Structure 1
Amino acid sequence: MTQVITALRHRQGVAFAQLGLTPAAARALRELDPDHPLPARDLAGRLGCDRSNVTVLVDKLEQVGLVERRTDPADRRQKTLVVTERGRVERDRVTEVMSDSRLLSGLTDRELSTLRDLVRKMSDEDCSEPCGPE
């Protein structure tokens, strides 16, 4: 399992670097909804990290023109994160990278089914109910 995760992270890291992003910045961009601006504290919650870490990530995304900080019209004391037009394009590319299944392309349908069943069994074994969505 560790080898699969390592291979996946490596492929994604290379692809993100080609986009000019770190894996963390790519994940932050992916978590932002282009149609619904989000306060940085909410992004921190989605990423499961400290707000100070999000500040650094947003600074990077803002520097390359993918995100803008704007005053929230409903609460002028608060800033929201808005995905720019260029950010929308890059976000779509990040989504493609994150859903790239080339790592699994050598497996038959039967092997993919077996792998899915094994991963489900491993991840749900210690849960009284399914740990994640079906």
Structure 2
Amino acid sequence: MSRRIWRSWCCGMRSRCCVVRSSGLGWSGPPPSMKAMAERLHCSAPNLTFMANQLADRGLVERAVDPADRRSRVLILTAKGRRVRDEIIRAAQENNPLGTLSTRELQQFTALLNRALRPGEHQKHLIRTSVQRVLR
């Protein structure tokens, strides 16, 4: 994705991080509730509502009733939202210095980071998730 397209798409967004973080909307399994999404994004419910409104206005997500709890809402990526998410991920991977490493090298790198940092479980999860995204 070119910088011009990226800037154009992000125009008006209060937090550019929400673009990348909300790309997680496409994970497998049932969509998470808005509450679970707010927790995952480390933001308040009103902030998530604000971001969801902006994404919905751009035709990138739709709100639906949570089948697991009809009192809750979920966000679902539209076809356009999936295309934009894929472009963002592709651009991030193309510009990622770890993208040149093989799968084996990434596994070694992760093991070394875990050993050097001795992180807690939450931090280990973040490292594994980052490396897995590069592998995709």
Deviations 1:20-68 (A, max 9, x none): 0252231232121265322111111111222222111111111100001
Q: Which has the larger radius of gyration?
A: 1
SS of the residue aligned with 1:49?
coil
Change (3 A) 1:15 1:120: farther
Q: Which amino acid aligns with 2:6?
A: A
Equivalent pairs, count: 116
Say whether the 8 Å CA contact 1:71–1:80 is kept in structure 2.
Answer: yes
Counterpart residue number, 1:86: 80
Question: Is 1:99 aligned to residue 93 of structure 2?
Answer: yes
Report the structure, 1 or 2, having the larger helix content.
Answer: 2
Change (3 A) 1:108 1:28: closer
Give unmatched runs, 5+ long, in structure 2. 132-136
TM-score by length of 1: 0.62
Q: How many angstroms does 1:103 deviate by? A: 5.1
Say whether the 8 Å CA contact 2:60–2:78 is kept in structure 1.
Answer: yes
Change (3 A) 1:108 1:40: closer
TM-score by length of 2: 0.61
Counterpart residue number, 1:28: 21
Counterpart residue number, 2:32: 38
Give unmatched runs, 5+ long, in structure 1. 1-11
Q: Percent identity?
A: 24
